[in-house]
């Protein structure tokens, strides 16, 4: 027997606002027939191919400490640094910069969403030499 990941859940204070923010980051959409609306305590978004879902659930407590689980993102188009600029303009906050630590052109940047949930932006496949 095995299990599969049904979705990734993010605790937050404002499920609607954070789901909208992440839709802009990932180009995800609301579930068909289940639109997210202001005031909803649970909001789910899904990748356009249906392969991944993110569920935002409102909780009373704030984030405390470093995330034990986070998303690693890579650009679909453009470079890591292009995507970094886009995400910062979208409202992400830079937490730490690890670019170039393992040689020229290497590394990642740790960012936080508007509620402080951390995620990383990596180099794309071409930048890593995987393409």
Alpha helices in 3-131 (DSSP H): 15-26, 80-90, 125-128
Q: Confirm if 71 and 8 have CB atoms less than 8 A apart.
A: yes
Confidence of residue 129 (pLDDT cuts 50, 70, 90): confident
pLDDT band, residue 120 (cuts 50/70/90): very high
pLDDT classification of 131: cutoffs 50, 70, 90: low
Mean pLDDT in residue range 111-115: 96
> At residue 40, does pLDDT exceed 90?
yes
Q: Which pTM does this prediction carry? A: 0.91
């Amino acid at each position: 027997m095995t299990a599969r990941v049904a979705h990734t859940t993010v605790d937050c204070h404002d499920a609607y606002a954070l789901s909208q923010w992440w839709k802009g980051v990932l180009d995800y959409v609301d579930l068909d027939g289940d639109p997210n609306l202001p005031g909803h305590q649970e909001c789910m978004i899904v990748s356009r191919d249906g392969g991944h879902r993110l569920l935002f659930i409102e909780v009373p407590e704030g984030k405390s400490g470093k995330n034990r689980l986070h998303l690693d993102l890579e650009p679909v188009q453009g470079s890591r640094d292009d995507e970094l600029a886009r995400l910062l303009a979208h409202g992400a906050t830079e937490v730490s910069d690890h670019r170039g630590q393992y040689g020229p052109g290497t590394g990642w940047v740790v960012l936080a969403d508007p509620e402080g949930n951390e995620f990383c932006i990596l180099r794309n496949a071409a930048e890593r030499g995987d393409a």
